[in-house]
Each structure stands twice: as C-alpha cells, then as structure tokens.
Structure 1
Amino acid sequence: MSFFGVSPYFVAVFIFGAFEKALTAVIQTQQTVLAAVGEDAEVSCQLLETKDVLQVTWQKISNDVQENVATYSKYFGQRVNDGFTDKVEFVYTGLQNCSIVIRNVTEQDEGCYRCLFNTYPEGSFIGRTCLQVYELHEPVVDVRESNSTEEWVVSCSATGRPAPTVTLSVSQQDLNFSQYNTVSVSNTNATFTVTTTAVLSGSRKHSTQVGCAARVLSAPHREVMVTIPHDNDEKSGSDPRNLGIRISASLSSVVLLVACVTALIFVWYRKKSQSSQSHRQVEMNVIPT
C-alpha cells in the first residue's frame, strides 16, 4: 500500500524526522560499549517515561556521517536497512525498550549509535551509545638468567589496539623487579606491540611464578604465568631437561647390560657346542672289539 505513490516506511521516517528534538533526559542507555574484534556488541535503549511512541529508529554516526541503521514500529514491524543486513539484528523490539546487536565487530563498526523514540506531537527522545572496538592478543613471556646468579631478565610482549599496558608481577614477596624498560612499536595493521623488560632480583627459596598482564582500555585483561624453578629443583632433576638426560643414561645402561648378557650367552653356547662336537668325535674314533 502506498501514500501518493510513496512507501509508508519513507513517509513515517519523513514525519518523525521533521519532529525530532534533542530530548535525552528520559533515555537509559550505556555511554560506552567495549567489544573485542570478532565479538558481538549489544546496544540498548529504554524510555523511562511512558510516551506514545510510534517508531524507534537506530542511527550510526561516524566521522560526522549519519546513517539510518534500523527501525521498528508497531505497524511496519522491524526493518534493517541495506548495508547493515548482514551486520545488525534486533535483540529485543519494543516501543519503550529496544536493543540491537552488531555481529562480528570490526574497526569499521566503531562510532556512536543513536536510538530515537519518535513520538507525536512531542518529537523524538534521543539516546546515544558509543562503540569502542579493541584488539588484544595473549602476552608472550621470556625469562633468562642474567650474569648474576641471583638475577633473571624477564621480558613480556603484548600486541593490541590501542597500545596495551603491560604489567609484570612475581609471586615470591622477597623478590622484586627493577631497571624497567618499555618499548612500543607501531605495526602496519594499526596495532601496537608493547614490550616491557625488567630485572628480577633477590634470593629464591623455592620455585617462583612470574606473571605478565596486558590490558587495553577498561576491557578484561589477559595474563600468562611462567614458573622459574629453584636451584635445588634443578639439581634434584625437576628440570625436564635433566629428566631427559637421566632417561637417556638409563636407557644406555640397559642397552649395555643386554649386550653383555647376550655376549656371555653366545660364548657359553659356543663352548658347549665345541665340547659336544669333541665328545662325538672321540666316540667315532673308538674301535669296537
């Protein structure tokens, strides 16, 4: 059905757009939504005051460019605009409470999303949520001995966007880090690799765990732990390399023992065989009377 040859959907958008006002006090929404690359991000708005809402409109604003994303109305139902059909879906549809989800977010999905509760004759009540997309990979820790027997050089690298914050920690209280050095490298894919290096010193009474945590914005951090074995553990063979040496030595001893036993059996069997042959030869030389 059309109105003077124009789709009702576009008539509704035109009418509601003409009455749009910056009425934001009664909208409940998040100011910022964080989402990692590849995750889904949900954006929702709730109108706290009861109003005669005719349609809810979602818009995206990025680099001062405004795009209509999706709409929901009682008469026309839900509709996702071209260009967003494979990206945006409705989670909950209501004229007082409405939410959408942005699938598999990328850097291009960053921006602010507006929800407009279009009413008549008051106009549009507007809420605004900004989506921040971040990237954070698992940190990589490297531990090596320094020139001093009671010092270790600990290095941790983390890649993300924006540049992550890298923090080192140690489980043993009487050990401490010093001589911190942090280097940030900009990568061609707009990510940053941050490497923090420090010297761990002190007397280790037992095995120690060294941790590295990487964080971007206020998103959940990612952490890895590495165990530094104690000297006594290494001497007692807790080091897998020492265990491998012991296993190799044991196998060599077993092989040598088996070879010796085989040689003895061979010598014994040969002597026995020669003795039997000599006895038969003597019997053959005896002349019966």
Structure 2
Amino acid sequence: MVTFSKNHGVVVQPAYKDKINITQLELKNSTITFWNTTLEDEGCYKCLFNTFGSGKISGTACLSLSVQPTVFLHYKFFEDHLNITCSANARPAPVISWKVSGSGIENSTEVLFHPNGTTSVTSVLQVKDPKRQVGKEVVCQVLHLGNVTSVTQTVHKGFWFSVPLLLSIVSLVILLVLISILLYWKRRRNQDRVLSDSAKDYFLELPTSLGESHGLPTSHWVRNVLIFANEICTEP
C-alpha cells in the first residue's frame, strides 16, 4: 500500500493514490491516514518495520467505520390510540429504549439495513388511552457505541378523529339538504297552483237578435281578452 524510508521517502502504490498517506514520518512510529473512507476500507492493516539485524517487526491495526446516530421523535393521534415513534439511523445499529409513564402501552420495532452500511431502527409505542398521555413527557434513548442520546418531547392535546362522529355530521347535513329541497319544491308547487287557478277562462255568452236574421250573432268572452265570433245572415 504505502512505504517510507529515508532514501526514498513516502511511496504510495497507484491503487491507493489520493486515498491513503503516511502522516507520521518516523522510524519508530508510523501513522497512516485514510481519506473518503468507504465500506471497502473497513478491515485490518499490518505495519511492518524492517530493521537490520533483527528482521521484521509487525503490528496490526483494524479500521472500523462508524456513523453517529440521527434521531427523530414524533407522535400522532388516531381515533382510539396514540402512536409515538422514535427512529435512529447509525452505524453500527443503534439500540432504542423508552422512558414513558402509563399503562396499556405496546412497543414494536422495525430494523432496516441501507446499502451505505448504516442501519435504521424504528420503535413505535402504541398508547391505548391517549388522553391520559397528554401533558406528559416521553423520552427516547438511543444507545450507540456506549454513548446514550436522549430526545424528549411533551405530548400536547391533539385532534381525536372519530369515524362515528364524522358519519353523524355527514348524515345530518344530507338530511338538512333534503328537507330544504322538499320545502322549496312544495313552495313552488303551491305557487304554480295559485297561478293556474287565477288563469282559468271564464266564458259569458250574451245572445242578441238582429231583426229577422236567420242566425244569432254570439260573443264569447275570455278573461282579459274579448274574442268576437259573429255570424250574420242577410235576406236573399
């Protein structure tokens, strides 16, 4: 990979160019530094000291990659329960524990492995009586490489979604709309009936005579309109 000597200095093999270098140039102590490490760099490395008369002296150092945890804590109210979710992503896999008061609480955990070597752990608390949890603190503790990260959140009063209540409200609105339509229809029907009655035709026949005519002239009267239909016969 890389060598150091007083005569030749630091020599890095082509495959490790811009990847590794010796950062402590001493014959008794030697330090190598990696840049832009990936999962492929994880493993054990051997350091060889060549000494005249004593041969080779070797030592082994192992490299393991770690990613500090990223923690998220949130909660959500449902119709009959409360879900409190704590998720942590790190390398190696973190361990989640809770500090929460109350009874009727169930816990479920899901683990997801990512291609970059990190692991996501999600823990969900299901609280059966959400109203009792309002105003109380919930603590999510994440253990990673011997260190504990705590995230605290207070549960505030939320909106309890009720399906029966929603159905009742929708039914009431539909009923009110139907009643309004029925009342409007009855009102229009009554108005049409009044207009129909007031528009009836009333006829009045007034007979008249004109001498000795062979026919009788007649007049037909219609409300607001007068129509004359006269028939007059003359003497031959």
Where 1:112 maps in the other structure, the secondary structure is strand
Q: Where does the alignment leave 5 or more consecutive residues of structure 2 unmatched?
A: 159-236
Deviations 1:234-264 (A, max 9, x none): 9xxxxxxxxxxxxxxxxxxxxxxxxxxxxxx
Paired AA for residue 179 in structure 1:
E
Structure-2 separation of matches of 1:191 and 1:146: 31
Rounded to whole Å, the distance in 2 between the matches of 1:109 and 1:86 is 14
Residue 75 (structure 1) aligned with residue 7 (structure 2): yes
Distance 1:141 1:227 in 2: 11
Q: How does 1:215-226 map to 2 (within 5 A)?
A: 215-216=143-144, 218=145, 223-226=150-153
* 179 and 206 in structure 1: CA distance in 2 versus 1, 3 angstrom threshold: closer
Q: Does 1:228 align with 2:158?
A: no
Shift of 1:128: 0.7
- Kindly provide the amino acid, as one letter, of the partner of residue 98 in structure 2: L
What amino acid does structure 2 have at the position aligned with 1:192? T
The 1:145–1:202 alpha-carbon spacing in structure 2 relative to 1, beyond 3 Å, is: closer
Q: Does 1:103 align with 2:35?
A: yes
Counterpart residue number, 1:193: 120
1:212 aligns with 2:140: yes
Determine helix, strand or coil for the equivalent of 1:83. helix
The aligned residue for residue 55 of structure 1 is: none
Any idea what SS the aligned residue of 2:97 has?
strand
Question: Following the alignment from structure 1 to structure 2, what is the Cα–Cα distance between the partners of residues 100 and 153?
Answer: 48
Matched, 1:181 2:108: yes
Matches within 5 A, 1:1-289: 69-136=1-68, 138-145=70-77, 152-170=82-100, 178-187=105-114, 189-199=116-126, 207-216=135-144, 218=145, 223-229=150-156
Distance 2:16 2:116 in 1: 24
Per the alignment, in what secondary structure is the counterpart of residue 89 of structure 2? strand
Q: What is the percent sequence identity of the aligned residues?
A: 28
Q: Report deviation, 1:219.
A: 6.8
Pick closer, same or farther for the CA change 1:108–1:220 going to 2, 3 Å. Answer: farther
Task: Tell me the CA shift for residue 156 of structure 1.
Answer: 1.4
Q: In structure 2, the residue corresponding to 1:95 is in which secondary structure?
A: coil
What are the superposed Cα offsets for residues 123-144 of structure 1, whole Å, 9 maximum, x if unpaired? Answer: 1111111111134551222212
Q: CA RMSD in A?
A: 3.4
Which amino acid is 1:210 matched to?
Answer: V
Give TM-score, length-normalised by structure 2: 0.53
Deviations 1:206-244 (A, max 9, x none): 95443334444x275655443324x6xx9xxxxxxxxxx
Q: Secondary structure of the residue that 2:65 maps to in structure 1?
A: strand
- Is the 8 Å Cα contact of residues 95 and 143 (structure 2) preserved in structure 1? yes
Q: Distance in 2 between matches of 1:105 and 1:223?
A: 29
**TM-score of the two chains, using structure 1 as the length reference:** 0.45
Relative to structure 1, is the Cα distance of residues 130 and 203 closer, same or farther in structure 2, using a 3 angstrom cutoff? Answer: same
Asked if 1 retains the 8 angstrom alpha-carbon contact of 2:69 and 2:89, the reply is: yes
Partner of residue 25, structure 1: none
Q: Which moved more, 1:220-229 or 1:137-146?
A: 220-229
Shift of 1:89: 2.2
- Indicate conservation of the 8 Å contact 1:177/1:198, yes or no: no
Contact conserved, 1:209 with 1:228, CA < 8 A, in 2?
Answer: yes
Q: 1:121 to 1:176 in 2, by over 3 A?
A: farther
Distance change >3 Å, CA 156–CA 206, structure 1 → 2: closer
Distance (whole Å) between structure 1 residues aligned to residue 142 and residue 104 of structure 2? 17
